Amino acid sequence: MRKVSFYTIGCKLNFAETSTISEEFKKRGFEIVEFGEPVDVCVINTCSVTENADRDCRRVVRKALKISPNAFIIVTGCYAQLRPDEIAQIEGVDLILGSNEKFKIFDYVNDFQKNYHAQIFVSPISEISEFHIASSTPASDRTRAFLKVQDGCDYNCSYCTIPLARGESRSPEINIILEKAKTLAQLGYKEIVLSGVNVGDYGRKIGTNLFELVKELEKIDGIERIRISSIEPNLLTEDMIDYFIASEKICNHFHIPLQSGSDEILRKMRRRYNSELYRRRVEYIKSKDTDACIGADVIVGFPGESEKHFETTYNFINDLPISYLHVFTYSERPNTDAINLPGKVPIEERHRRSEMLRNLGLKKKMVFYRQMIGKKFDVLWESEVKDGKMFGFTRNYVKVGIPYDQSLVNKIVPVKIVGVENLAAIGEIIVDRSQSEVEMK
Ligand code: SF4
């Protein structure tokens, strides 16, 4: 039996898509093995957002060929769509497939005989209109599955290459997603994370929306939790917030990209909101549910970001009840408008600002976790063991640890939070569930 391995760089969406591509190989009789084992074929799914896409891709190709010098190497994903010629320079690559082609590998190759020169099949981005449903379903742990419900983006943020690599915003009909979610429930997954490039834009072009989708997903037996990976602040309405918070299944966890707390920088980024709208959203969520978790993405070192702009961002975040941060250091991307903006921030300064915000993010996370001490939550337990402990997440995305007990894996079991240690909350299992459910959050 021929063997294939996969290597994924980048976001959850890429992982979900790799999983779908691997299913196709399985159907064709391939054995899927871990990356690093000897193989006949290796598929590398790349990302354009990472700062060193070229270096990362080169490193992975070399590693694959070191173990299997005759392996047929396929490179696909966002970086392949944007820079196929760069990838073709990497020694040992046989096939480069763009965003339209990545789900049709067998249309382009069947015998997997090494070429010793790279063949490129990349459609222009304007021709990309298909949607491929995908989900990442780690076999080791049937707790959480990432379900792709949307792809591409019509926003035109000045720093972003994603629309150039993934094309225009598109999404499938609700029933297609429901079918996939039912399959995940049958496989034992209890939580689904709705993923996409711009999830809040789900359904806009097909006469529906994210709100309608989650209402249908809630009806699926076996799916106990629905988490929304991320939603733009301008797309998150108060009606949605009310509904999500009242729902038994939708997690009270809102990941809302901020990018900057300065309106001047937000305008240069071409974001579709200002800091006031963001503040209102956060305060509204907290006014409805003090335990709700709110995460934010921030970019530091955007062209023209002065020390004063940065301070504005820092203070804006510091003052708001945000629970954690994902901090990104701005880096120049070819073919974006931001690359031509004046006011380049020196690299060391970008790193200093990034470090400051990372520290702030950690501080806010610990404050949020400590606010949960003494409260009771349901936790979905995962299989990973570290130092004799197992971990799981509450609906409001608090990571909780308890001594390892295999019988709890993939079960939702209530705990009381009794402390915080090593960036996780310490839980105590509540033995009498019937009593605890009365007060459960
Ligand atoms: S919303 Fe902006 S940053 Fe996000 S994917 Fe679309 S263009 Fe990129």
Distance (angstroms) between ligand 1 centre and the Cα of 426 equals: 36
Residue nearest to atom 8 of ligand 1 (CA): 160
pLDDT tens per residue across span 308-343:
999 999 999 999 999 999 999 999 998 999 999 999
> Higher model confidence: residue 53 or residue 422?
422
Distance (angstroms) between ligand 1 centre and the Cα of 385 equals: 36
> Does any ligand 1 atom lie closer than 6 A to the CB of residue 155?
yes
**Token pair 């067998």 is at which residue?**
106
Residue 243 has pLDDT above 60, yes or no: yes
Atom index in ligand 1 nearest the CA of residue 270 equals 2
Residue of 153, 235, 335 to mutate, ligand 1, most atoms within 8 A of C-beta: 153
> Higher model confidence: residue 135 or residue 161?
161
Distance (angstroms) between ligand 1 centre and the Cα of 154 equals: 8
> Does any ligand 1 atom lie closer than 6 A to the CB of residue 163?
yes
pLDDT score at 436? 47
Task: Write the CATH number of the domain with boundaries 3-125.
Answer: 3.40.50.12160
User: Using 50, 70 and 90 to split pLDDT, how confident is the model at 136?
Assistant: confident
Please provide residue 122's backbone torsions phi and psi, each rounded to the nearest 5 degrees: -135, 115
Q: Which helix (H) or strand (E) holds 358?
A: helix 347-371
Exposure of 67 in the CB half-sphere (CA atoms within 13 A): 17
Residue of 47, 159, 160 to mutate, ligand 1, most atoms within 8 A of C-beta: 160
Distance in angstroms (rounded) separating the CA atoms of residues 364 and 383: 27
pLDDT score at 374? 98
Angle between helices 238-246 and 275-288 (to 10 degrees): 30
Enumerate the domain spans of the chain.
3-125, 376-439
Distance (angstroms) between ligand 1 centre and the Cα of 266 equals: 13
Topology match between the domains 3-125 and 376-439 = no
pLDDT score at 138? 60
pLDDT score at 88? 94
Residue 223 has pLDDT above 80, yes or no: yes
Across 380-409, average pLDDT: 95
Whether the Cβ atoms of residue 31 and residue 88 lie closer than 8 Å to each other: no
User: Using 50, 70 and 90 to split pLDDT, how confident is the model at 439?
Assistant: very low
Distance in angstroms (rounded) separating the CA atoms of residues 72 and 62: 12
Distance in angstroms (rounded) separating the CA atoms of residues 412 and 416: 13
The proportion of the chain whose per-residue pLDDT surpasses 90, expressed as a percent, equals 83
User: Using 50, 70 and 90 to split pLDDT, how confident is the model at 441?
Assistant: very low
Distance (angstroms) between ligand 1 centre and the Cα of 432 equals: 46
Residue 438 has pLDDT above 50, yes or no: no
Q: Which residues pair with 424 in a beta bridge?
A: 421
Residue 225 has pLDDT above 60, yes or no: yes
Considering Cα of 404, then 409, then 413, then 419, what sign does the dihedral take?
A: positive
User: Using 50, 70 and 90 to split pLDDT, how confident is the model at 115?
Assistant: confident
> Does any ligand 1 atom lie closer than 6 A to the CB of residue 153?
yes
> Does any ligand 1 atom lie closer than 6 A to the CB of residue 160?
yes
- Of 138-152, 195-209, 214-228, 259-273, minimum mean pLDDT range: 138-152
Distance (angstroms) between ligand 1 centre and the Cα of 374 equals: 39
Atom index in ligand 1 nearest the CA of residue 160 equals 8
> Higher model confidence: residue 48 or residue 428?
428
Which CATH superfamily hosts domain 376-439?
Nucleic acid-binding proteins (2.40.50.140)
> Does any ligand 1 atom lie closer than 6 A to the CB of residue 167?
no
> Does any ligand 1 atom lie closer than 6 A to the CB of residue 199?
no
pLDDT tens per residue across span 191-222:
999 999 999 999 999 999 999 999 999 999 99
Atom index in ligand 1 nearest the CA of residue 232 equals 1
Distance (angstroms) between ligand 1 centre and the Cα of 220 equals: 30
Across 77-92, average pLDDT: 93
Residue nearest to atom 2 of ligand 1 (CA): 157
User: Using 50, 70 and 90 to split pLDDT, how confident is the model at 10?
Assistant: confident
- Of 77-86, 222-231, 368-377, minimum mean pLDDT range: 77-86
What is the dihedral angle through the alpha carbons of 364, 368, 369, 375, rounded to the nearest 10 degrees? 170
Residue 247 has pLDDT above 50, yes or no: yes
* E strand intervals along 279-353: 293-300, 324-329
Whether the Cβ atoms of residue 129 and residue 104 lie closer than 8 Å to each other: no
Distance (angstroms) between ligand 1 centre and the Cα of 232 equals: 9
pLDDT score at 132? 84
Distance (angstroms) between ligand 1 centre and the Cα of 160 equals: 6
Distance (angstroms) between ligand 1 centre and the Cα of 109 equals: 33
> Does any ligand 1 atom lie closer than 6 A to the CB of residue 11?
no
Q: Taking all residues of the chain, what is their mean pLDDT, rounded to a whole number?
A: 93
Atom index in ligand 1 nearest the CA of residue 197 equals 5
